[in-house]
Amino acid sequence: MTQSFHPYLLDRRWRVARNVVWAVLGVVMLAFFRTQILEHGKYQLQSETNRLRPIPLPAPRGIITDRNGKVLAENVPGYTVSLLPAGEDSLRAALARLAPVVKLDRAGVERVLVRFRRAPYLPVTVLPNAKFDVVAALEERRLVLPGLLIQPEPKRHYPDSGLIAHLVGYVGEVTETERGQRRWAAVRLGGLVGKDGLEREYDDSLRGADGVRFVEVSALGHVVREAGAASTLRPAPGKALRTTIDLDLQRYVAQIFPAGRRGALLALNPNTGETLALYSAPGFDPNAFVGGVDPDYWRRLSESESHPLMDRTIQASYPPGSTWKLAVAAIALKRGLVTFRSRMPIPCRGGLQYGNRFFRCWSPGGHGELTLTDAIAQSCDVYFYQLGLKVGLTSLLEEAGAWGFRARTGIDLPGEVLPKFPAGTDYYDRFYGPRRWTSAVTLNLAIGQGENAQTLVNMVRFYQMLASDGRARTPYLVHPLANSSMSLDLTPDQLAGLRQALINVVERGTARGARRYDSTLTIAGKTGTAQNPHGPAHGWFIGFAPADKPEIVVGAIVEFAREGPYVAPLVTRVIARYLGGDTTVASNLRLVLPTDTAPHPMQVLPGPPEQDTTVTDTTTMPPDTTRATPPPRNR
């Protein structure tokens, strides 16, 4: 029996099949339309992303120059070796091939892997500062090193190296912690930022903006084409930085600074606050940090007892010694307690009996009866013991706070520490206990010892006020800062009298030996000897010239120098060099300070040595504060 279909049923089935086919075709067409037309950009970007890899183009950092345009920090050509891995396994294999050529040890391989895990879609840096012979060797092996990228990049260079290290600082790879801060949030992984000094302080303008170029890679991550794969965004160079530093003066300071000694020197223009020289010893080589510091070198720096990474001009605090006596004298003059002809009731006979304690003067034979002017010139401790008692502890603390001895100067460098000075008598109540201390603490404070530790920059700012019109100018290196309203509030006659007393210090007082280096300039200054319970005393000298119309103020601190007068020739030579005075006497002679075994091997005979010596059973002197630590609790 033959089965037959009604024509109507056949027609119906054909229509259903046709509709199904059209529906399928419509879905396919819609899919193609969405992919090719509506989402064309999305899939093209995905394709380009898979095919093209972005390569950052670091921006050249802005150059840093001195006041005369001489280069402090510049950029030189360099090479960076990177890899474009398809995965961690391929990266390990590539590093195994690279290791014999670039001398990559196990720790170096691990550092590369850490970089890769942080940003797996970016080129991973293997050698941030490759030498040319290494680059040439790698180019010969390019065929067996898939994903190899060798890119010329600007590298930071410091022509004067260690002598400007603390001033300029150095650069290094941004850390995860830094990228978490708003200031460096936009810096790419592996990008360079300033780590210290001016490089850090002005990093925002020095850094510039990185560019980007693209290379074409295969599915396995091999570089197919390096040029012309896509448009390149050029980097924007950083802005140049012109400082107030006089590089010739800075070099001269480094030349004559006592060899092997720790300390610092700071020179300012007293009328503007411009920093002319800033030197800290010992130093380090900032070029060693370019491209990543060698772990052994970093270990030596960080573990050294001399703390070469610390800027002793702003990050170390010391008892100011007799340089502080000018502050006590200025306070007494301001309050109308004395004049320059005032004498103390008890003449100096080598010390002062106060209660049941005897406070010594640095001169065992004593100075006799002195006026204030002569007491400053001879740095007589007995006179200033009595002057401190006359001023009173409360007034001494109040005026010191008003004159900035508890505050930072605000110099445009990172890391300036706070000086240490009591804010009030409650300080002694906290550390000694109520009624467990006496006014004997005033005697130590009056000669720059006791609970008093100042930075070099802070003490130089005080002498800047003495050298000018009594108003403070904030020290600066690049841009003038808003000057504070801080003033000594002394009359012109009082300022002139203090300057004359400081002239007497150099002409016939404790620093008269410094005159042998230059006899043509009238220099005003003050020596200081700061007791140090950890070794020989530290030596201070702060001076300015010409004394009648100062153009430069220079302060220096030399650790373990034993006595302040030994530091005075260092400062006077720097002043003479800057002002063009007579520097022919021993012009090529480096200063040699006393050593622990030979107390006075000086080439220049100084004036009579001063030493602030007090009985310390009531007040513990601040320790050696070269670690920038606060004084311990007094016992």
Residue 8 covered by a domain = no
User: Which of the four pLDDT bands, split at 50, 70 and 90, describes residue 134?
Assistant: confident
Together in a domain, 432 and 526: yes
DSSP structure string for 253-296: HHHHSPTT--EEEEEE-TTT-BEEEEEEES---GGGGTTS--HH
- Asked whether the predicted pLDDT for residue 160 surpasses 70, the reply is yes
User: Which of the four pLDDT bands, split at 50, 70 and 90, describes residue 511?
Assistant: confident
Q: In Å, what is the CA distance from 448 to each residue of 87, 256, 613?
A: 64, 27, 11
Considering only residues 517 and 437, tell me which one the structure prediction assigns the higher pLDDT.
437
pLDDT at 634: 29
Together in a domain, 256 and 177: no
- Asked whether the predicted pLDDT for residue 317 surpasses 80, the reply is yes
**pLDDT tens digits, residue range 201-213?**
999 999 999 888 8
User: Which of the four pLDDT bands, split at 50, 70 and 90, describes residue 237?
Assistant: very high
First-to-last CA distance in the chain? Answer: 126
**pLDDT tens digits, residue range 417-472?**
999 999 999 999 888 888 788 888 999 999 999 999 999 999 999 999 999 999 99
- Asked whether the predicted pLDDT for residue 606 surpasses 50, the reply is no
Please name the residue that has the structure tokens 């020290």.
Answer: 475
- Asked whether the predicted pLDDT for residue 44 surpasses 60, the reply is no
Residues 611-626 have a mean pLDDT of 34
pLDDT at 581: 56
Residue 491 covered by a domain = yes
Give the number of domains in the chain. Answer: 2
Number of residues that make up the chain: 635
Boundary of a domain, candidates 563, 579, 595:
579
Q: For all residues of the chain together, what is the average pLDDT?
A: 83
Residue 593 covered by a domain = no
Residue 373 covered by a domain = yes
Which range of residues forms the domain containing residue 476? 248-283+310-579
pLDDT at 10: 66
**pLDDT tens digits, residue range 536-589?**
889 999 999 999 899 999 999 999 987 777 899 999 999 999 998 544 444 444
Q: What does DSSP say about strands 241-242 and 64-65: parallel, antiparallel, or unpaired?
A: parallel
- Asked whether the predicted pLDDT for residue 617 surpasses 60, the reply is no
Q: Please work out, in degrees rounded to the nearest 5, the angle formed at the alpha carbon of residue 182 by the alpha carbons of 181 and 187.
A: 85
Residues 108-131 have a mean pLDDT of 83
Quote the CA–CA distance of 600 and 594 in Å, as a whole number: 5
Quote the CA–CA distance of 631 and 453 in Å, as a whole number: 7
Together in a domain, 259 and 210: no
Boundary of a domain, candidates 555, 579, 603:
579
Residue 396 covered by a domain = yes
Together in a domain, 221 and 318: no
Q: Please work out, in degrees rounded to the nearest 5, the angle formed at the alpha carbon of residue 538 by the alpha carbons of 534 and 542.
A: 160
Residue 544 covered by a domain = yes
Together in a domain, 167 and 275: no
Boundary of a domain, candidates 217, 239, 261:
239
Residue 11 covered by a domain = no
Residue 71 covered by a domain = yes
Together in a domain, 334 and 233: no
**pLDDT tens digits, residue range 162-191?**
899 999 999 998 888 888 888 888 888 888
Residue 405's CATH number:
3.40.710.10
